[in-house]
Amino acid sequence: MLPTCFLRFSLKNFIGQSENSYTGATAINVREDPGVVSQGNNFMRKLASTAPSQPLMFQEGILDVGQQGMRHGFVQCRRDLNVSACDKCLNNLLDKYIPQFGDNRAWEFSSFSCSIWYDDVHGTFSDRNLTNETSSTGNTGETKPSLAVGTGRFKFRYTSLLLVMLLAL
């Protein structure tokens, strides 16, 4: 369902461990109707609060915002995480990126451990004006489709596929 995929390799065992040092956000450059912003953000926080206790650690839903249409939400954690780690991951992404991107009509927040997606179109981001931001241990900035040396992170704007490889020694 999510247009982002993380591929991770490490010589150290990371199964069951939450990883929040690598995160990313993608949003369309279309502002949400001001009357819908708080409804959408609350809707996504509600989905994020219920996903950790679900058997497959995901939750999806549809928010009817009247004349402005429908908003689709999807949140998901890696299934090897426990409830607490999943909850923490989702809330960290929301707390970090909602202030920056929560007033956009569509966005996706991702980390190694969890992903959150909000859009007015069901499915994946279509060919839209995207704003990308990635963060590696606190460093943020706008990115273009490229390889970030040192992190092994690829960001493909047009396919919204984020391929991440972490090589730990």
Question: Which CATH number fits the domain that encloses residue 104?
Answer: 3.30.430.20
In this structure, is residue 4 part of a structural domain? no
- Tell if the pTM clears 0.75, that is, is over it: no
Residue 12 — very low, low, confident or very high, per pLDDT cuts 50/70/90?
Answer: low
Residue 34: domain span = 22-164
**How high is the pLDDT of residue 20?**
58
Check residue 150 and report its DSSP letter. T
Q: pLDDT tens digits for 100-122?
A: 999 999 999 988 889 999 998 86
In this structure, is residue 56 part of a structural domain? yes
In this structure, is residue 3 part of a structural domain? no
Q: What is the tally of structural domains in the chain?
A: 1
In this structure, is residue 158 part of a structural domain? yes
In this structure, is residue 140 part of a structural domain? yes
**Interval 22-26 mean pLDDT:** 80
Across the chain, how many H-helices and E-strands are there?
2, 10
In this structure, is residue 17 part of a structural domain? no
In this structure, is residue 37 part of a structural domain? yes
Residue 41 has pLDDT above 60, yes or no: yes
Strands (E), the chain: 22-28, 58-64, 70-77, 107-111, 114-119, 130-136, 139-142, 147-148, 153-156, 161-164
In this structure, is residue 133 part of a structural domain? yes
